[in-house]
Amino acid sequence: MTSNLNILTKARLDSIGIAGECFCEDQPPPVIGTDILVVVDGSDSYNSKAEVEGSITEGGAYQGTLQSLARDFFPGVAAALPGTNQTAVIQFSGIKQLEAAYKPGSDGQTGTTGLQHWKWELNPTSLDDATVGGLAAHFQECDSLDGNGQLYLCLQDCALPGVMNRKIFNSGNK
């Protein structure tokens, strides 16, 4: 592999040129991965009555959404993108009274014990048939947050670099 870098300056920068090629014999093409980040509302206004497994359940919308993802969406991801995906689930809710003190990149923590603006329900995981099979049971253990839907607190953190490999976040959640 060779590279050439040329910079031509006088009183100002006139040009920058970079050239080079790499020929790798008998190498498979690179696998391009796909990141899928599912954000689910866990706030009180969303988590109202819902049909879950054939019956109306008070506060069942959040759990019903997670179970639908496990049953219908994630198996399709595993089939379409085997081994090339990083899939994660975040629950957001947000607590309006604590939003002003929130620091982006603090993993949803409010600074008040027991209260979160958002949390990881499924850390970034490469989905395959084995992991998909355990998601329904995993999600059964997830409780909805108590809040009022401050989505932007979660989305600003999701827009930070490295969110899917959790370089900037704590790893204390599921």
Confidence of residue 82 (pLDDT cuts 50, 70, 90): confident
Residue 19 lies in a domain: no
* Contact of 93 with 144, CB cutoff 8 Å: yes
The mean pLDDT value for 1-24 works out to: 60
Q: Which amino acid, one-letter code, is at 151? A: L
Domain limits at 99? 33-165
| Beta-ladder partners of 52 | 55
Could you tell me if residue 7 is inside a domain?
A: no
Residue 147 has pLDDT above 50, yes or no: yes
Q: How far is CA 117 from CA 8, 12, 33, 36, 84, in A?
A: 51, 49, 29, 21, 30
pTM over 0.75: no
Domain membership of residue 11 (yes or no) is: no
Predicted local confidence at residue 30, as pLDDT: 61
Tell me how many domains the chain contains. 1
Which residues neighbour 104 within 8 Å (Cβ) at sequence distance 6 or greater? 156, 157, 160
